[in-house]
Amino acid sequence: MYPRKSIIPEEFGLPGLVSRMPRKPVFRDRVNKARFIAKNGSCNLAHKNIREQGRFLQDVFTTLVDLKWRFTLVIFTTTFVSSWLLFAMSWWLVAFAHGDLDPGVKNPAYCVTDVKSFSSAFLFSIEVQVTIGFGGRMITEECPTAITVLILQNIVGLIINAVMLGCIFMKTAQSNRRAETLIFSRHAVIAVRNNRLCFMIRIGDLRKSMIIGATVRLQVVRKTTTPEGEVIPIHQIDVQTESAVASNSLFLLAPLIICHVIDKNSPLYDLSAMELQCSDLEVIVILEGVVETTGITTQARTSYISEEIQWGHRFVPIVTEEEGVYSVDYSKFGNTVKVATPPCSARELDEKPSILIQTLQKSELSHQNSLRKRNSMRRNNSMRKGGNLHRNNSGLAPPKVQFFAPNDGGQNLNAVT
C-alpha cells in the first residue's frame, strides 16, 4: 500500500520553510586579552616554578617588607615569643645547674633571685629582654654563666627589635601608599591638536604636597612576531611624550594632559579608528617622582587597552579662576567631548593633508548650521512670546463704557464713550 501524498507541496511544508528561513548571524564575544598592568597599577604577572627559593632568604629584610600584614604580624609575634622561651630555658638551666631549684638547701647564694620554676624563669626572660625590671628578680655576681646569658639576651633582643621595627616602619612608609592619591583618567583619547593626531591622557594629584621631579613614561605592550618567526608575547615599545622631548620634569600642581604626538616613530602611526578597536595593544603609563614630605621616590602606574581609548574625543577643561583663586573640579576629571577627528591613521593624514582640512571644514559648517538653527529657534520663540504677550495685553485692556443722553425728543439716545 503506497503512502498517501500530502495535498500541500513539500516546498511549502514546515520543514521546507524552516530550511529556507534566513538565519540570524551569530556574534561571538571577543576573548578579552589579559592586561599586563591593571587599572590600579598592580602587575598581572604570576611567577611559577621558581626552583631557587633560597634566594629570598638571603634578603630577609626585603622579604619581610614584601609580605602581607597578617604574615608580618605572625612572624613578629612568633619571633619575640620564641626568643623569650629560648632564654627562659637558658635561665632555668643555669638555676638548675647551680642548685637554685633544690628546696633542701637553705640560704644558698642564688644566681638569679626568686627563680624557682620555669614560669618564673620565663617571666625573668621577658623582664630582661624588654627591660621592664619589676624588682623582684635580679641577677647576682655568683654565676659568670648567668652574666654571659644576660649579655647574649640583650644583644639578641636589640637585633630582633631593630629588624622587626624597621620592617614595620618600612611597610607603613611604603611609596605605593602615596601613589593612591595620584590619579589617571579612566579613558585615553585620540584627537587632533595643533594639526597633528595626538594620544592624550590626564593625570592629577589629590594632595597639596607636591611630587618633586615628576616624570611620565609611556610604553606600548603588544604581541609581535619577528621576521625570523620568533614570537615575543610582551614586546615593550617606548613612546615619547612632549615633556620627555623637552627633557623637563612636570610641575604637577594642577591636573595635566599628557600628549603624545603620533608621528613616524610612534607605534600608533599605522592604526586607524577601526584598526584600533581590533588591535590587542596596551598602553602603560608610569608616573614617577619624589614625595615632598618624606623624600621617598614613588611610582604610580595604570594602563589603557584598545577598548579604553576613545577616538575623536577631547578632555573638558576643569581648571577655572574664581575670585582670584584657581579651582579644580575633579567631578569632571575624566569627562570628554566629541570633536571633529578624521577616522584614518596618522600615516594617511601625512600622505593626504586634505583629509584633515575637509574634516575641519565639515565640522565648521555643521557648527554654523547648528548655531543658525539655535538662533532661528530663539527668534521663533521670542516672536511667539511677543505675540502671546500682545494678545494678553489686548485682552486685559479696559472695556468701553457707554453713556446714553436723552435727545430733545426724548426718544433717540446718543452713545457717549
pLDDT of 43-102, one tens digit each?
A: 888 888 887 777 777 788 888 888 888 998 999 999 999 999 999 999 999 888 887 777
User: Are residues 82 and 168 part of one domain?
Assistant: yes
Question: How far apart, in whole angstroms, are the C-alpha atoms of residue 345 and residue 359?
Answer: 14
Which amino acid is located at 308 in the chain? E
The residue written with cell numbers 554654523 in the block is: 368
Size of the chain, expressed as the number of residues it contains: 417
User: Are residues 239 and 164 part of one domain?
Assistant: no
pLDDT tens digits in sequence order for the chain, 417 residues long: 444 444 555 544 545 554 445 444 433 444 456 788 888 888 888 888 887 777 777 788 888 888 888 998 999 999 999 999 999 999 999 888 887 777 766 656 788 888 888 998 999 999 988 888 777 788 888 888 889 999 999 999 999 999 888 888 888 877 777 888 899 999 999 999 888 899 999 999 998 888 888 899 999 998 888 888 888 888 888 888 876 555 567 888 889 999 999 989 899 998 898 988 888 889 999 999 988 888 888 889 999 998 999 999 999 999 998 888 899 999 999 999 998 888 888 888 888 877 777 776 666 666 566 667 777 777 777 777 666 555 555 554 454 444 444 444 444 434 444
User: Are residues 164 and 213 part of one domain?
Assistant: no
Question: How far apart, in whole angstroms, are the C-alpha atoms of residue 364 and residue 233?
Answer: 44
Q: Is residue 15 part of a domain?
A: no
Q: Is residue 376 part of a domain?
A: no
pTM beyond 0.85, yes or no: no
Write the DSSP string, 12-57.
GSHHHHHHHSPPPPPPPPPPPPPPSB-TTS-B---------THHHH
Q: Is residue 268 part of a domain?
A: yes
Chain-centroid distance, C-alpha 28: 30
Q: Is residue 54 part of a domain?
A: no
- The C-alpha cell that represents 173 in the structure block: 612608609
Q: Is residue 332 part of a domain?
A: yes
Kindly list the distances between the CA atom of residue 365 and the CA atoms of 252, 379, 405, in Å, as whole numbers in the listed order. Answer: 38, 21, 71
CATH of the domain at 345: 2.60.40.1400
Asked whether 269 and 262 are in contact (CB, 8 A), the reply is yes
User: Are residues 328 and 195 part of one domain?
Assistant: yes
User: Are residues 243 and 168 part of one domain?
Assistant: no
Which is nearest to 128 in space by CA: 152, 159, 144? 152
Q: Helices H, strands E: what count in the chain?
A: 11, 15
The parent domain of residue 347 ranges over: 182-354
> Which residue, of 173, 198, 221, is where some domain finishes?
173
Domain count, the chain: 2
Asked whether 312 and 340 are in contact (CB, 8 A), the reply is yes
Q: Is residue 411 part of a domain?
A: no
CATH of the domain at 91: 1.10.287.70
> Which residue, of 144, 173, 202, is where some domain finishes?
173
Question: How far apart, in whole angstroms, are the C-alpha atoms of residue 368 and residue 397?
Answer: 43
Asked whether 183 and 254 are in contact (CB, 8 A), the reply is no
Q: Is residue 40 part of a domain?
A: no
User: Are residues 333 and 220 part of one domain?
Assistant: yes
Q: What is the pLDDT of residues 5-27, one digit of tens each?
A: 445 555 445 455 544 454 444 33
User: Are residues 348 and 206 part of one domain?
Assistant: yes
Asked whether 297 and 323 are in contact (CB, 8 A), the reply is no
> Which residue, of 150, 173, 196, is where some domain finishes?
173
User: Are residues 199 and 157 part of one domain?
Assistant: no
Tell me how many degrees the CA angle 130-134-138 measures, rounded to the nearest 5.
Answer: 85
- The C-alpha cell that represents 33 in the structure block: 586579552
Asked whether 341 and 191 are in contact (CB, 8 A), the reply is yes
Q: Is residue 62 part of a domain?
A: no
User: Are residues 187 and 151 part of one domain?
Assistant: no
User: Are residues 250 and 204 part of one domain?
Assistant: yes
User: Are residues 244 and 137 part of one domain?
Assistant: no
User: Are residues 338 and 197 part of one domain?
Assistant: yes
